[in-house]
Amino acid sequence: MRNTFFSQLIAITSAFAFLLIAAPVEARECEGQRFPNRTTVGETQLVLNGIGIREATVFNVDVYFAALYLENRGRNGAQIARSEQTKRLVLRFVREVDREKMTEAFREGFANSGGTAAMAPKIRQLNRWMPRTVRDGSRFTFTYVPGTGLEVKVGRTVKGTIEGADFARAFFSIWLGSNPPNRGLRRGLLGGECG
């Protein structure tokens, strides 16, 4: 009788331990910022590819945390930017930034990522959707859906969609291309160490 009790106890404990080990982690954390491991766009499931930190100035001040979601994880930034898959970039600010700095960062980013003169009206539209002040805690969500374009969401408000695979490719290349805002940001988004 006693052996049966201990056998059952060991079996239950082992099953519980297995469930704890096998249970999927619901979110990943980077320096106190948590991002869910999965998100859904329409009926398409996306998985978290990585988290990076945008640092600025010689003091490496944290400006925002970025999370990249993809249909298929990858480590090649150029391939991901070119890929015709649904993808999402989430920026969560941890510092206040004024609109002028934000829009200048976009202009510079597009210049460094293969943006063309023909994209200028689309870049201006993107910049018009940016708030006067980006506050600590502000969240921006950029979602590319093939055949539709890049949806821009500020907080909970969808501002609109900018059409064109070429525009989306240049947009994602700002972070994933050969000249990102900072190397650690790109490394984290591509699945490397966050930070």
Q: What is the pLDDT of residue 194?
A: 84
Q: Where are the domains of the chain?
A: 27-189
Question: For the chain, what percent of residues have pLDDT higher than 90?
Answer: 78
pLDDT tens by residue, 150-172: 999 999 999 999 999 999 999 99
- Per-residue pLDDT for 66 more than 70? yes
For the entire predicted model, the pTM comes to 0.85
Mean local confidence (pLDDT), 102-129: 94
Q: What is the pLDDT of residue 22?
A: 39
CATH topology of domain 27-189: Chalcone isomerase (3.50.70)
- Per-residue pLDDT for 14 more than 60? no
Cβ 151 vs Cβ 161: under 8 Å: yes
